[in-house]
Amino acid sequence: MRAPRLLGLHASPGRGLALLLAAIPFVLIVGGYWMASSARLAENPNDKLLPAFSTMAESMHRLAFTEDKRSGGYVFWQDTLSSLRRLGIGVGLAALVGLAVGLPVGLYPGLRSLLLAVVTFLSIIPPLALLPILFISFGVDELSKVVLIFLGTVFVITRDVYLTTRAIPAEQITKALTLGATHLAVATQVVLPQVLPRLLDTVRLTLGAGWLFLIAAEAIASTDGLGYRIFLMRRYLAMDVILPYVLWITLLGFVLDWTLRTIVARRFGWYEATRT
Amino acid sequence: MSDATPNGDGAPFLEVRDVYKSYGDKLVLDNIDLTVAKGELCCVIGPSGCGKSTLLRLILGQERVTGGEIRIEGGPVGWPGVDRGVVYQRYSLFPHLTVLENVTLGRRLRCGWLEFRKRRAEFEEEANGYLAEVGLTGHGHKHPHELSGGMQQRVAVAQSLILQPKILLMDEPFGALDPSTREDVQLFLLELWETHGMTIFFVTHDLEEAAFLGSRLLVLSQYYRDDRGVSAERGAKIVSDQRLHAPGTALSTRTKQSDGFSELVARARQAGFDPEHLQHAREFDLAHPDSVQTLTSEEDGRGD
């Protein structure tokens, strides 16, 4: 009996058909936009709400490849660089601190008694509510934006590292001790290598929150950055810039996610194979 | 007692004296006395929940006794350390290390990173020797998840052997294996025991496995009676302690078909697994020459 191609529980679309199916929604979205945009522009050539693809391309070309007269740089790349730097430093620091706190707290009962309650408590504070405090104490430039991203992601990462550490069977810890491990070596040789791939996975998932805090901070106080540009352009109803920027942010997020996923799959094959 | 004191200084190799273990209100181990001689393959069986794994974890140092003491070569056991090796049913291997790295791990942890780097070739040769001995030549580069259950347990044994522990503690090591694999690894363990003269403390819930492997068979059970009255809180005791065979006499699976074997299994089953069959603590069949039993005056109302 042949499996159906498309419908039902037993469907097995081949590789080609699967690709085609996946493309359909994208084509529909782009096509739908194009039709709606053409219809509005036919009625009013100055319509700003749904700009034509050609207008978007022109605007982006201007931002990406012509020197800005005021700053002397290329606005698009400057925005991208600034945003990625803030995101990278914020989430990167959060990952390091999350590992440095979550692992020992998960492993050593004394530290757990000392820190677990306070970490859990702090993690409940909504980071955006801290933004005014950050602006007041660190000023409105780089530092407060990075600190916001850091605070917005560090607790989730810490708690996840903690839970991952706790999930390592007690048998493994005892086994390591019978093989001569010191209390420190259990952390560095047994727990750390098993937590690392999970940490990369968690960073992947946390990047979403990272972008959120990045754009929130840039929207409120900044002089460059992808979020800053979007909110600046909002004043001029410049959808021809806003839409490509949103698409660009999505693309960057996708590439970051894919990169981390590939690292986990390449470097930690055992993790992919054994996780349940 | 003579077999238990090979080093001649009067201290038995492994000594469990008046050991109690309770979790909260629940008494699990109830006044356990036990001495084990060097070189013994001591199998412990009992109904589920009788505390046999608890006893193993106490000897290992993974848990603390509620009362009494446990000594190895005269010294208290303390926390888990290199003098006691362990093989669990699961989680004995580190999933992030290759088979070879798992086996050399003991060396690496013992001598430190720098020294290990210097002597790496020597240690890997040693580990490969052990892998050859457990029949896993050529699997060193794999990760544990790429091996079958039986192979994983062989690696776990090799991993423990590399530091030459005084005693190897095995907690239902073959419990998750299918029957034919199980017989293979049983024979493999007997061979290793013979060649290395190891002392093994082997916990299993499979009576036939225990009777086949052990040079000594201990039955731990909560099904017995004593003079403490019906309402008294009781934990498991050693209700039977038998010498099975001298090393080297069990190396055939045909043993399992003999009459003596089935009779032994039947007697152990009755002593430990039958809730209706309640022997008095005074009348336990503790025939093994190393067997010791000290009953409290409450347990044995006649006193002595």
Residue B97 with chain A: CB contacts under 8 Å: 193
What is chain B's mean pLDDT, rounded? 85
pLDDT at residue A163 is higher than 50: yes
Closest listed residue to residue A205, CA positions, set A249, A264, A157: A157
* pLDDT tens digits, one per residue of B155-211: 999 999 888 899 999 999 998 888 888 888 888 898 888 888 889 999 998 888 888
Q: What is the CATH number of domain A64-275?
A: 1.10.3720.10
B93-119: average pLDDT? 90
Distance between CA atoms of residues B84 and A144, nearest Å:
54
Cβ contact (<8 Å) for A180 and B96? no
**pLDDT at A206 (0 to 100):** 95
Q: Which helix (H) or strand (E) holds B23?
A: strand B14-23
Residue A190 with chain B: CB contacts under 8 Å: 94
A7-22: average pLDDT? 90
Q: Is A183 on the interface with B (CB under 8 A)?
A: no
pLDDT at residue B264 is higher than 90: no
Q: Number of CB pairs < 8 Å for A and B?
A: 74
**pLDDT at B5 (0 to 100):** 43
Confidence of residue B223 (pLDDT cuts 50, 70, 90): confident
Task: For residue B60, give the 3-state DSSP assignment.
Answer: helix
Tokens 């929604």: give the residue. Answer: A25
Residue A270 with chain B: CB contacts under 8 Å: 95-96, 143-145
For residues B105 and B86, the answer to whether their CB atoms sit within 8 Å is no
Looking at CA atoms only, how far is residue A167 from chain B in angstroms?
A: 12
pLDDT at residue B271 is higher than 50: yes
Confidence of residue A120 (pLDDT cuts 50, 70, 90): very high
pLDDT at residue B2 is higher than 60: no
**pLDDT at A222 (0 to 100):** 84
B92-114: average pLDDT? 91
**pLDDT at B3 (0 to 100):** 45
Looking at CA atoms only, how far is residue A6 from chain B in angstroms?
A: 35
Q: Choosing among B58, B64, B108, B109, which should be mutated to test the A contact, i.e. which has the most A CBs within 10 A?
A: B109
Q: Which of A137-151, A153-167, A173-187 is predicted with the least confidence, judged by mean pLDDT? A: A137-151
Domain boundaries, chain A: 1-50, 64-275
Confidence of residue B253 (pLDDT cuts 50, 70, 90): low
Residue A194 with chain B: CB contacts under 8 Å: 94-96
Q: Choosing among B77, B96, B116, which should be mutated to test the A contact, i.e. which has the most A CBs within 10 A?
A: B96
Residues 96-155 of A with CB under 8 A from B: none
**pLDDT at B1 (0 to 100):** 40
Residues 6+ apart with CB under 8 A from B230: none
User: Which among A170, A172, A180 is the nearest to B94, CB-wise?
Assistant: A172
Q: Is A184 on the interface with B (CB under 8 A)?
A: no
Residue B245 region by backbone torsions, left for phi larger than 0, else alpha for psi between -120 and 50, else beta: beta
Which residues of B fall below an 8 Å CB-CB distance to A? 60, 62, 79-82, 84-86, 88, 90-92, 94-97, 105-106, 108-110, 143-146, 159-160, 163, 165
Cβ contact (<8 Å) for B96 and A181? no
Residues 6+ apart with CB under 8 A from A239: A48, A49, A50, A51
**pLDDT at B279 (0 to 100):** 80
* pLDDT tens digits, one per residue of B277-303: 788 877 777 777 788 888 887 777 775
What is chain A's mean pLDDT, rounded? 92
Distance between CA atoms of residues A143 and A90, nearest Å:
10
Cβ contact (<8 Å) for A178 and B85? yes
Residue B92 with chain A: CB contacts under 8 Å: 171, 175
pLDDT at residue B4 is higher than 60: no
pLDDT at residue B247 is higher than 60: no
pLDDT at residue A155 is higher than 90: yes
Confidence of residue B249 (pLDDT cuts 50, 70, 90): low
Distance between CA atoms of residues A98 and A206, nearest Å:
12
Among chain A residues, the shortest Cα distance to B62 is held by A174
Cβ contact (<8 Å) for B96 and A177? no
**pLDDT at B10 (0 to 100):** 60
Q: Is A188 on the interface with B (CB under 8 A)?
A: no
pLDDT at residue A249 is higher than 90: yes
**pLDDT at A139 (0 to 100):** 83
Q: Tell me the H-state helices in chain B.
A: 52-60, 99-111, 113-118, 120-133, 149-161, 179-196, 207-213, 259-273
* pLDDT tens digits, one per residue of A31-70: 999 999 999 999 998 888 899 999 999 999 999 888 887 7
pLDDT at residue B79 is higher than 70: yes
**pLDDT at B250 (0 to 100):** 53
Cβ contact (<8 Å) for A170 and B165? no
